[in-house]
Amino acid sequence: MSDERSGGGEFDFIERLRRREQKRSGAVGDDSPLSTLHSSLLKGIGDDAAVIRQRAGFDTVITADLLVEGVDFELEGGGATARDVGHKALAVSLSDAAAMGARPTMCLLSVGVTRERWRTGFLEEFYRGVRPLAERYGVSVIGGDLSRTPERVVVDSVVLGEVRKGRAVLRSGARPGDQIFVTGSLGGAAAGLRVLGARAGSRLTRAEGRLVKRQLRPEPRVEWGRLLGEERLASAMIDLSDGLSSDLAHLCRESGVGASIEAESVPVDSLLKSPALEESERLSLALDGGEDFELLFTVPARRAARVPAEVGGVGATRVGEVTADASRLTLVREGRPRPLRPRGFEHFGGRRR
């Protein structure tokens, strides 16, 4: 081990991580203050598996997201930092839990790093990105794995959440007439990716810097998700990872419905005005761009007025309506309807990167 970094081998790293997490989550077990808040952790890092006791009256949601250097993020040439990767890996899975109407509670992070990155402290920095986000939402790191990779960093982020029994918001619950909403604004993350691609390493304007942040440090809509689940407002929900056009298509297929979106209502990120994009390009980034990690949800018309204007400083906008035409998506622009085709990201579809 002495030939590796001064901090010791992987077991030492895991031991330090474990101590920090134990301190954070307080005493683990039934008399922990945490266990009155949510499902309790009986055993975290440091055994063959973690042990969890689900709070009575709740279901568990679980989701996994795999991020690969060179495909899902770039570490070289002014791309993401290790902290960015830590933040984003957790954020994308928190976003999935939020899209179920659940409160995220715990996570497992499996990370593969090269020897070089191990030596230069990638993992410590990675966890410096994970921790603030985990703390903000009361999420404990309870496990995961650590492996060596020959060339690239890979991260698999698994998030557990809890939702009141039977209240998980699926993609399949949308019905004709339901109103369609999205949280926040769209297109910023995709525009940020363009900025990174075009201007890596060069000095960014303030607006460009903020777009890049939308790409590298997406903020999962955890409070919105929980509220929509708790209050039984949303009939269906999905998070915007692939892009509105694709994710809406997923939701409609699962629900056996169609949708009509009003172009003028789509909340295009105001930052897109600054890099002086044409309006149609801005709209296209907002509809097809992906990785905004906003929530798209449907609400029965009679409850639509109960959707709050904002939650935790983040607004929601009505963008259209669910229709009975199974899987037909329409974009209405200046009064004229045209088909809205899914143009989002597929790893093996060859559309991006």
CB of 288 to its own copies, least distance (A): 16
Q: For residues 202-261, which are near its own copies according to CB under 8 A?
A: 237-239, 254
Please select the residue that binds its own copies; options are 31, 135, 279, 346, rule is CB under 8 A.
Answer: 346
**Could you say whether residue 352 binds its own copies (CB under 8 A)?**
no
| CA distance from start to end of the chain | 38
For residues 170 and 277, which CB has a smaller minimum distance to its own copies in the complex? 170
For residues 151 and 334, which CB has a smaller minimum distance to its own copies in the complex? 151
Q: For residues 88-107, which are near its own copies according to CB under 8 A?
A: 95-97, 99-100, 102
**Could you say whether residue 170 binds its own copies (CB under 8 A)?**
yes
Please select the residue that binds its own copies; options are 81, 110, 120, 317, rule is CB under 8 A.
Answer: 110
**Could you say whether residue 136 binds its own copies (CB under 8 A)?**
no
For residues 36 and 172, which CB has a smaller minimum distance to its own copies in the complex? 172
Q: For residues 288-317, which are near its own copies according to CB under 8 A?
A: none
Residue 98 near residue 241 (C-beta atoms within 8 A): no
As a whole number of angstroms, the distance between CA 138 and CA 102 comes to 13
As a whole number of angstroms, the distance between CA 352 and CA 252 comes to 24
Residue 179 near residue 252 (C-beta atoms within 8 A): no
What crossing angle do the helices spanning 206-216 and 82-98 adopt, rounded to 10°? 60
φ and ψ at residue 349, rounded to 5 degrees:
-100, -10
φ and ψ at residue 342, rounded to 5 degrees:
-65, 120
Q: For residues 51-90, which are near its own copies according to CB under 8 A?
A: 51-54, 56, 59-68, 70-72
**Could you say whether residue 4 binds its own copies (CB under 8 A)?**
yes
138-167 footprint of its own copies as x/- string (CB under 8 A): ----xxxxxxxxxxx-x-x-xxxx-x-x--
**Residue in the block written with tokens 């085709």:** 341
Say how far residue 143 (Cα) sits from the centre of its chain. 20
As a whole number of angstroms, the distance between CA 186 and CA 353 comes to 20
**Could you say whether residue 341 binds its own copies (CB under 8 A)?**
no
